[in-house]
Structure 1
């Protein structure tokens, strides 16, 4: 979209604390996230557009459907599961259809990108690294390992869209979490600086849209237009 994010990306969250519809940006420590509650990765939630409902599957329980407006059932079921895993804080589900509001890790939002070359370099050292750990919006081929990290400050074009490469993405403990098992099983944070020579554990880059929004399709070329 013209708001510098992928349509539908991070439009809902489970906010820790009081029940409020305050949509001001807050650091991710204020939400349920893998950086401090790894076992939430085992909860599977998907939106079924055709019936305007959420499908929720919690380990060892039957899948159930709820309207997004039925917050209490959703919160109660998930809270019960989390309490059995020693997480006792109150939280509430918040969502928005406002294009200007999202729950990104940083206030400026943006679009994340990494290369398969960087993935493979990690794989060679740790094995079995699921790309979903990095939650990137875009993944590209034909780069040397961590080559994309050198694009900071440059302008790139993907399809007909133009982006400024704003910064590298500093990672948190969420990348150490195995998304299937809901446990921390890899020390990716420790390995990244050894592999890419950046002091802070970094993987991928953040893009800022500097043209009109549009559509990016699988196979669209990526070009550096301002080296």
Structure 2
């Protein structure tokens, strides 16, 4: 038992782009966090086939690890209409329906203009399909972030760290720092939904990008290793039962 509570829920409809807050989410057993990483932008042909999906390395896509300036692109997906709005200073606003291949082509052109020489290209936003999501883990279909761990690192390096750098789905308050690193295989309950710890999340240079400015301003990976001897922050989880989770729900951990 813990006194932990969910303080925020986030989805990322397009891998590498703007996190979107949710008040609640309805999870499906064996599924993914809803609305999360449904699309990704390939940088050059990947051969990905949504009818026969395979796991691809994040380096095949335009992501913050490669292109930190993506943080300056503001996207927002309206689920009922399937329309994503796209904004960035100095560039025209855009609205595209993600399910429409012609609209996706317009987004490809907009993003190519925004990134310029930073990409190899051609850029193409691709759907994951019903059997896949563009997660960095083969088995962890959602992610949990212990805010106490972020604050502990923040205090040690004496620099503010926006938890959005870690692009997790479920933010939790009320835990001891770093306890989640020992939760692989543990049973977790959020509200009435059963989750299971898969493995701690190994961090990459995506966390170095300031989510507001798009500048690499903190070497988070080096800081983690210098302070703790690892580059872990957050936990991948699988979803064991269907149900609703919401901000304010308790989190409980069992053997």
TM-score relative to the length of structure 1: 0.89
Native 8 Å contact 2:128 2:134 kept in 1: no
Q: Deviation at 1:72?
A: 2.0
Q: Deviation at 1:184?
A: 1.0
Aligned length: 221
- Is 1:54 the counterpart of 2:84 in the alignment? yes
Native 8 Å contact 1:126 1:186 kept in 2: no
| Structure 1 Cα separation of the partners of residues 124 and 238 of structure 2 | 30
Native 8 Å contact 1:58 1:78 kept in 2: no
Name 2:34's counterpart in structure 1: 7
Pairing of 1:201-216 with structure 2 (within 5 A): 201-209=231-239, 211-216=240-245
Query: Structure 2 regions of 5+ residues with no counterpart?
Result: 1-27
Higher strand share: 2
RMSD: 1.9
Q: Deviation at 1:152?
A: 2.4
| Structure 1 Cα separation of the partners of residues 149 and 78 of structure 2 | 33
SS of the equivalent of 1:89 reads: coil
**Could you give the per-residue CA deviations for residues 140-189 of structure 1, whole angstroms, max 9, x where no partner exists?**
11112112212223222221222221211101110011111112110110
**Could you give the per-residue CA deviations for residues 62-107 of structure 1, whole angstroms, max 9, x where no partner exists?**
3221222212211111101111x53342120112451x21111122
Q: Deviation at 1:193?
A: 2.5
| Structure 2 Cα separation of the partners of residues 217 and 72 of structure 1 | 35
Higher RCO structure, 1 or 2 (CA under 8 Å, sep 6+): 2
Pairing of 1:133-144 with structure 2 (within 5 A): 133-144=165-176
Tell me which of 170, 173, 186 is aligned to 2:218.
186
| Structure 2 Cα separation of the partners of residues 2 and 80 of structure 1 | 40
**Could you give the per-residue CA deviations for residues 46-69 of structure 1, whole angstroms, max 9, x where no partner exists?**
112343322011221232212222
| Structure 2 Cα separation of the partners of residues 196 and 163 of structure 1 | 27
Tell me which of 58, 66, 71 is aligned to 1:28.
58
SS of the equivalent of 1:81 reads: helix
Native 8 Å contact 1:57 1:63 kept in 2: yes
| Structure 2 Cα separation of the partners of residues 208 and 72 of structure 1 | 33
Pairing of 1:109-188 with structure 2 (within 5 A): 109-124=140-155, 125-188=157-220
| Structure 1 Cα separation of the partners of residues 254 and 97 of structure 2 | 45
Native 8 Å contact 2:67 2:118 kept in 1: no
| Structure 2 Cα separation of the partners of residues 91 and 137 of structure 1 | 26
**Could you give the per-residue CA deviations for residues 207-226 of structure 1, whole angstroms, max 9, x where no partner exists?**
122x3221111121111221
